[in-house]
Amino acid sequence: MRNLLRSQRGSAAFVTVIALVPLIGAVAIGAEAGSWYVTKQHAQTAADAAAYSGGLRLACTIAGSTCNDTNTTVAYRGKQFAAQNAFCNAGDTSYPGSSCRASLPSGTSQTVTIELIGTNRVKATVSQIQPTYLAGVLGLSTVTIPAIAVAEVKVLLQPPCVLALTGSLSFQGSPNINASKCGMASNDRAAGALNFTGGGMTITPGSVISAAGGCTGSATFCNKTFDYTPPVANPFSALDAALTSMCGANPSLPAKCGLAKCTGSGLTAYTAAKPCVNDNVKTNGNTAVTLTPGVYFISGTLTMVGGSSVTGTGVTFILLPGATIDTKGGGILTLSGPTTAPSASSLPAALQSSAALFQYMSIYDASAAAVTFGGNSNINLTGNIYAPNAAVTFQGDPTLSVGNGSRCGQLIAASIAFNGNATFDSSGCPTSTKLLADQYVQLVQ
């Protein structure tokens, strides 16, 4: 018996068991705290989604007449997207796509609050109160797990007057860009929607260059752009549908779109009395022609020979699908768009409902043929240039000056490139164009 009482065998195991009790408790409390962390992450995701979606609804309100989401409020949109991430106020769980349960575990409750801060911020506060278990030994009966997010609606300083509809807006070499009075944008969602190749480019301070996608090339210039902004609405899109109605979806090229060939020499404006198209017209050398105001349909190739010039004020050229203008011979074409919309009698029936869109338009190029303005470009256009299917390139050292003090012309094409020493100058523009200043929503907290 004496030997048994003096035996120390098993004492280490006893001490180990005693030491494991607080260790197991600490591990258990740590595991409970870990579950709080997971809930916190879920709550933050819900708050971010709520603030951002509320911000989008607020942006829609700010946009005014262009807003289509008019049947909901900022608070509704925020709570809807919080619900889609499983956070709802009690009894408020029936939002579209909601992942909230009809009832929560005993002692658990959630709150979702959406509020406006000033005129352009939305704050979302999401929280969950739940009972504790092992943490109760520390005096905590419940724990509140909160998350806060703030989204801000931001508006670019200048509306764009140069827009690439589907392709990139690119700069190569040493172009000179002054987009301080009106900006430049691309609706391309690709990573290279904006591309800067070469380091000799000059950008005037305050220039606004944005894209629905990303920016590649020189980081120096990419850092000055606004990437992944919402696409810019095409103000002339109605013309595309109208022309398709007139020409058909897949016309034979070069298309005449049901118009008879104009008779006589030179170029003839469309009228109700002469509903015709100028098909494969070639100018005469050493001849200067001044066009009367009106709308001129072009089919095939308009060839400008050396020594010839065609000038028109209040004139719109409509290049039908497959049409091109050839100035390689040295001819000069100078057009200035009309200050008022053309009359119904100067347009075919299919285009009459879109007559207002031809105000200020010098050329509507419905062709998919690429367009290049070279260093010795012989095409001078004042007003809007709309080429929705064409890649437009400025190379060499041409200048695109879009403003005249009272109004600002716009260049809208499938893709746009400024290469070499090409210059874009918006200094003569007033403060507004047909395009709206882009706005976007950003989480700031």
DSSP class per residue in 307-374: T-EEEEESEEEEE-TT-EEE-TTS-EEEEE--SSPPPGGGS-HHHHTTGGGGTTEEEEE---S-EEE-
How distant, in Å, are the alpha carbons of 47, 61, 150, 328, 382 from that of 112? 8, 22, 13, 67, 54
Cβ atoms within 10 Å, residue 15: 10
Q: How far apart are CA 367 and CA 387, in angstroms?
A: 7
pLDDT 10s digits, 116-160: 998 889 999 999 998 877 666 566 778 889 999 999 887 666 678
Q: Which of 258, 259, 262 is nearest to 280 (CA)?
A: 262
- Work out whether strand 384-394 and strand 423-425 pair parallel, antiparallel, or are unpaired: unpaired
Q: Which two tokens stand for residue 234?
A: 């095409």
User: Which residues are 392's β-sheet partners?
Assistant: 371, 416
State the average pLDDT over residues 210-222: 90
pLDDT, tens digit, 9 for 90 and up, residues 284-312: 888 899 999 999 999 999 988 888 889 99
Round the CA-based radius of gyration of the chain to a whole number and report it. Answer: 33
Of 113, 205, 105, 118, residue with least CA distance to 158:
205
Distance of alpha carbon 78 from alpha carbon 125, whole angstroms: 10
Predicted pLDDT at 63:
67
Report the range out of 60-64, 81-85, 201-205 with the highest average pLDDT: 81-85
Tell me which amino acid residue 272 is: A
- List b or e across 17-30, with b for residues whose CB sees 16 or more CB atoms inside 10 angstroms: eeeeeeeeeeeebe
19-45 average pLDDT score:
69
pLDDT > 70: percent of the chain: 85
Q: What is the DSSP letter of 138?
A: G
Contact 58, 78 (CB under 8 A): no
What span, in angstroms and rounded, lies between the C-alpha atoms of 252 and 270?
21
Type of residue at 316: T
What stretches of 173-252 show up as alpha helix (H) in DSSP? Answer: 219-222, 237-247
439 pLDDT band, cuts 50/70/90, is low
Q: In the prediction, which pLDDT does 157 show?
A: 60
Q: φ, ψ for residue 199 (rounded to 5)?
A: -110, 10
What single letter denotes the amino acid at residue 9? R
Question: According to the model, what pLDDT value does residue 25 have?
Answer: 46
Is the per-residue pLDDT at 165 higher than 60? yes
pLDDT of residue 137: 59
* SS3 (DSSP) at 78: helix
Asked if the peptide bond before residue 342 counts as cis, ω within 30 degrees of 0, the response is no
Q: Is the pLDDT of residue 213 over 70?
A: yes
Q: What is the pLDDT of residue 281?
A: 92
